[in-house]
């Protein structure tokens, strides 16, 4: 409904209120989805639901979703290597969730410079992998916090939590899904300079 209202003529303060309303409901939705994903995984694990999909469409969707939250002046670039196939078979819902969590973080914690996402492909021992690099020029993460970063409810600090919002579940869920998909996520970061997440997962070419 907020989306529909946005299309209508309104006074400036109503537009602002509507903007807050739609951001808050989006935030609440993410929070509930994360809590449900987390509880479900804890309760009974997860299964892969692999099917044919268009990778390019999926990557475009992730870009559109994450771009709406970019701060003013922050550039968003996404690069797909020439040999990355469009038609693939994997659990597209989980892949999308991992990418949204990683790119969403990069966007959230970057107030100047850029957020970049690179997609490439690799084959090893007869298996095929998608490789993603998501890097930003945001606030960075202190070295002593990196080890526990993927733990549930882990956030860098209290002040951070107040400024940026969130529950600290996004990375935990992303790592669970990445491993389920035959992959992993690693992170390198420098405080005040930026952060890079590397994520890979298996896929079947179709």
Ligand X SMILES: Nc1ncnc2c1ncn2[C@@H]1O[C@H](COP(=O)(O)OP(=O)(O)OP(=O)(O)O)[C@@H](O)[C@H]1O
**Interacting residues with Mg ion (CB under 5 A):** 105, 170
Question: Shortest distance, CB of residue 10 to ligand X, whole angstroms?
Answer: 29
Check binding of 139 to ligand X (CB under 6 A).
Answer: yes
Question: Shortest distance, CB of residue 155 to ligand X, whole angstroms?
Answer: 3
Query: For residue 74, what are its two tokens?
Result: 């922050």
| DSSP-derived 3-state class of residue 190 | strand
Is 108 or 200 the residue whose CB approaches ligand X more closely? 108
| Binding at 59: pick from ligand X, Mg ion, none (beta carbon under 5-8 Å per type) | none
Site for ligand X in 53-72 (CB under 6 A): none
Check binding of 195 to ligand X (CB under 6 A).
Answer: yes
Is 121 or 176 the residue whose CB approaches Mg ion more closely? 176
**Residues 131, 122 contacting (CB under 8 angstroms):** yes
Is 121 or 139 the residue whose CB approaches Mg ion more closely? 139
DSSP string, 34-63: HHHHHHHHHHH------EEEEHHHHHHHHH
Report the alpha-carbon angle 7-10-15, nearest 5: 80
Q: Name the region of 12 (left: φ>0; alpha: ψ -120 to 50; beta: rest).
A: alpha
Is 97 or 105 the residue whose CB approaches Mg ion more closely? 105
Site for ligand X in 82-101 (CB under 6 A): 101
Alpha helices in the chain (DSSP H): 2-6, 12-44, 55-67, 92-108, 143-146, 158-164, 170-180
Number of other residues whose CB lies within 10 A of the CB of residue 7: 7
Kindly determine how many residues on this chain lie close enough to bind ligand X according to the rule CB under 6 A.
24
Check binding of 105 to ligand X (CB under 6 A).
Answer: yes
Query: For residue 48, what are its two tokens?
Result: 């892969």
Check binding of 137 to ligand X (CB under 6 A).
Answer: no
Question: Shortest distance, CB of residue 173 to ligand X, whole angstroms?
Answer: 8
Q: CA dihedral in degrees (177, 178, 179, 180; nearest 10)?
A: 50
Is 170 or 194 the residue whose CB approaches Mg ion more closely? 170
Check binding of 183 to ligand X (CB under 6 A).
Answer: no
* Interface residues toward ligand X, by CB under 6 A: 30, 34, 101, 105-106, 109, 136, 138-141, 149, 154-156, 160, 166-172, 195
């Amino acid at each position: 409904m907020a989306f529909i209202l946005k299309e209508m003529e309104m006074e400036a303060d109503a537009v602002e209120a509507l903007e807050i309303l739609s951001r808050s409901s989006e935030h609440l939705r993410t929070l509930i989805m994360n809590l449900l994903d987390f509880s479900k995984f804890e309760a009974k694990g997860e299964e892969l639901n692999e099917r044919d999909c268009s990778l390019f469409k999926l990557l475009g969707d992730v870009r559109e979703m994450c771009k709406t939250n970019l701060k003013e002046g922050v550039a968003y670039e996404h690069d797909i290597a020439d040999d990355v196939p469009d038609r693939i078979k994997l659990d597209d819902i989980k892949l999308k969730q991992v990418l949204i969590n990683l790119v969403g973080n990069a966007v959230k914690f970057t107030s100047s410079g850029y957020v970049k996402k690179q997609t490439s492909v690799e084959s090893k021992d007869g298996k095929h992998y998608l490789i993603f690099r998501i890097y930003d020029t945001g606030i960075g993460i202190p070295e002593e916090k990196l080890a526990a970063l993927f733990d549930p409810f882990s956030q860098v600090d209290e002040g951070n939590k107040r400024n940026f919002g969130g529950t600290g579940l996004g990375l935990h869920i992303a790592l669970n899904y990445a491993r389920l998909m035959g992959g992993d996520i690693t992170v390198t970061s420098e405080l005040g300079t930026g952060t890079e997440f590397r994520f890979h997962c298996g896929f079947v070419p179709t």
